[in-house]
Amino acid sequence: MSNITLTTLLAHKRSGEKITMLTCYDATFAATAADAGIEVLLVGDSLGMVLQGHDSTLPVSVEDMAYHTAAVKRGNKGALVLSDLPFMATATLEQTYANCATLMRAGAHMVKLEGGAWLTEAVTGLAERGIPSCVHLGLTPQSVNVFGGYKVQGRGDEQAEKLKAEALALEQAGAAMLLLECVPSPLAREISQAATIPVIGIGAGPDTDGQVLVLHDMLGLSLSGRTPKFVRNFMQDANSINQAIENYAQAVKQGNFPASEHEFSA
């Protein structure tokens, strides 16, 4: 696979080719996923749950994220590496810049920030300083204590309009990509059509510009014993991990994943 860049992803957005993204936390899985056709390796702060065993992502530090980003960078074979800013790493503009610099130096090509329209200043400043950013909207797990649980966001006309306005404000501010988690499919479709930057979905239906899943979820591994509604276990029809990841990448490219049973209604 030749190197995937932001230009590749923008070309996919324009041509309608789906973007494949998967979380990845170490060198061997980075090599495996890149070989299997994953275009974006997300070093997600979900590692706090699936690797570290915490019951939320809040305990994850910037140092943890840098450690795993560096490991992914070493194993990567041409995918774009996207790294999460963990809980409170974006508390102030100054901290945001410093923490993004740490992740970029560790090997990230782009950073992901959880939030909303309040991030516009950070997003503009990052772009000016050479750091492309992806803003994670909808169910932002770092705010689980504000939401009172892991709940679908953007339901009802008022909330949907608000989320769409935030998405477009962030694009306007210079975000390179958006990620929508657990929002109704019609809202995700509307935002994807309105935005000129790639919109990636998880639990956001089939009409975003690309899809992401947590590696452990799609391999059928679960610490809690609960699997979110939007997950498919790709190990079920595969005889190796490599095959499962390849099947996921192909299902996304062909529009066979997600299916109706993985969607949330408005």
Q: Which residues are catalytic?
A: 181
Closest to ligand KIV by CB, 183 vs 212, is: 212
The distance of closest approach from Cβ of residue 139 to ligand KIV in the complex, given in angstroms and rounded to an integer, is 9
CB of residue 79 to ligand KIV, shortest distance in Å: 15
Local structure of 137: helix, strand or coil:
strand
| Residues of this chain, 83-122, that bind Na ion according to CB under 5 A | 84
Which of ligand KIV, Na ion, none binds 23 (CB below 5-8 Å, type-dependent)?
ligand KIV
At residue 163, φ and ψ (nearest 5 deg) are -65, -40
- Select from 24-32, 45-53, 73-81, 103-111 the region that touches Na ion (CB under 5 A): 45-53
CA dihedral 92, 93, 98, 102 (to 10 degrees): 90
Helices (H) and strands (E) in the chain, counts: 11, 8
Q: Is 237 annotated as a binding residue?
A: no
Q: Which of residues 42-71 bind ligand KIV (CB under 6 A)?
A: 42, 44-46
Identity at 173, one-letter amino acid code: A
- Phi/psi of residue 113, each to 5°? -120, 135
Which residues are within 8 A (CB) of 86 and not within 5 positions of it... i.e. 6 or more apart? 45, 48, 57, 60, 61, 62, 64, 65, 142
Least spacing, CB of residue 161 vs Na ion, in Å:
25
Q: Each residue of 8-37: b (16+ CB within 10 Å) or e?
A: bbbebbeeeebbbbbbbbbbebbbbbbebb
Of residues 133-192, those binding ligand KIV (CB under 6 A): 136, 179, 181
- Interacting residue with ligand KIV among 212, 218, 244, 252 (CB under 6 A): 212
Residues flagged as binding site for 3-methyl-2-oxobutanoate: 45-46, 84, 112
Enumerate binding residues for Na ion (CB under 5 A). 44-45, 84
